Amino acid sequence: AHRMFAPSSQNSASPVLLLVLLGCVLCPPAQASKSSEDIRCKCICPPYRNISGHIYNKNVSQKDCNCLHVVEPMPVPGNDVEAYCLLCECKYEERSTTTIKVIIIIYLSVVGALLLYMAFLVLVDPLIRKPDPYTQPLHNEEDSEDTRSLAAVPTLAGARANTMLERVEGAQQRWKRQVQEQRKTVFDRHKMLS
């Protein structure tokens, strides 16, 4: 019973982890330097008389983003420029490559970490815990009988055995039981979430 109340370092660390993650996610856009390759003015000009359609890109600022500055070399003679430019559509676009790179890398690392953790729980954990007859592998869908017997045997020896490792152990055991309970509710008994 005591393991439930052992202050869980995992629980208190994770809001901190979340805030760190939040900071990481917010930092890139905050400090994303507008490198010259990340802004552009894009002008799309349709076919006009005998001139084929063309797309013009140029790194100009927003105030210079119009047909006259961007479309070079001008394919039509001087008096037709206005008519041609009326057909062209110019848009100012900017993006932040750093943000994209950072976010994708964060995402892939989180997915990788979760996969590794899942592999660890499925493959390595049962081997480590084999000597202990009361623990069960993660994907075991046994009855509440086993959870009751598990509850009866504390995995922490006494209320004060609060070393870091044992606290983490306790928190992990608690989490595993929660997940098992949730899995039973959702996948086996279909009580929630159809």
**Residues between 80 and 99 with contacts to another protein, criterion CB under 8 A:** 86-87, 89, 91, 93-97, 99
Q: Identify the residue among 31, 33, 36, 37 touching another protein (CB under 8 A).
A: 37
Nearest C-alpha neighbor of 101 from the set 38, 46, 161: 38
- Which tokens hold the place of 93? 């676009």
Contact status: 107 vs another protein (CB under 8 A): yes
Q: Identify the residue among 35, 47, 116, 128 touching another protein (CB under 8 A).
A: 47
Please give the residues from 55 up to 84 whose contact with another protein meets the rule CB under 8 A. Answer: 55, 57
Q: How many other C-beta atoms lie within 10 A of the C-beta of residue 168?
A: 15
Contact status: 35 vs another protein (CB under 8 A): no
Q: Identify the residue among 20, 34, 53, 132 touching another protein (CB under 8 A).
A: 53
- Which tokens hold the place of 169? 């152990």
Conformational region of residue 89, where left means phi above 0, alpha means psi within -120 to 50, and beta covers everything else: beta
132 vs 181, which CB is nearer to another protein?
Answer: 181
Question: How many residues appear in the chain?
Answer: 194
Q: How many other C-beta atoms lie within 10 A of the C-beta of residue 136?
A: 19
Please give the residues from 140 up to 169 whose contact with another protein meets the rule CB under 8 A. Answer: 144, 147-148, 151, 159
Contact status: 179 vs another protein (CB under 8 A): yes
| Radius of gyration, CA atoms only, the chain | 30
